[in-house]
Amino acid sequence: MDNSKRESHAQAVIDIVKAVSNMQDVSPETEITTMNMDSITFIKIIVALEDAFEIEFDSRKLKYISFFNVDELIDYTCYNANKRVKHASQVCFSR
């Protein structure tokens, strides 16, 4: 299993979350509900992730309560990016 691709993907997600939320202390373990963001900021994060990874979030995932922590965002974007590229080398791997 190539963890370097997942680590790179994870860092990209964290960087997007930091930039959009204006929070500096973000890690995979950061709980979404503790980030004190409103729903507009969360949607801005989703849009930025969709643009960055050329994916589309399922409409049922557009509420911040759909994700417990940033790691769940990483897993979701990783899974959907892998689906998008199908037969190409995977973008990242699940744990």
Give residue 82's pLDDT: 82
Q: What are phi and psi of 77, to 5 degrees?
A: -70, -35
Q: Which residues in the chain land under pLDDT 50?
A: 1, 87-89, 94-95
Max distance between CA atoms of the chain, in angstroms, equals 39
User: Which tens digits make up the pLDDT trace of 69-83?
Assistant: 999 999 999 999 887
Give residue 95's pLDDT: 44
According to DSSP, residue 34 is labeled: G
Q: What is the pTM of this model?
A: 0.85
Instruction: Name the token pair of 46.
Output: 């989703």
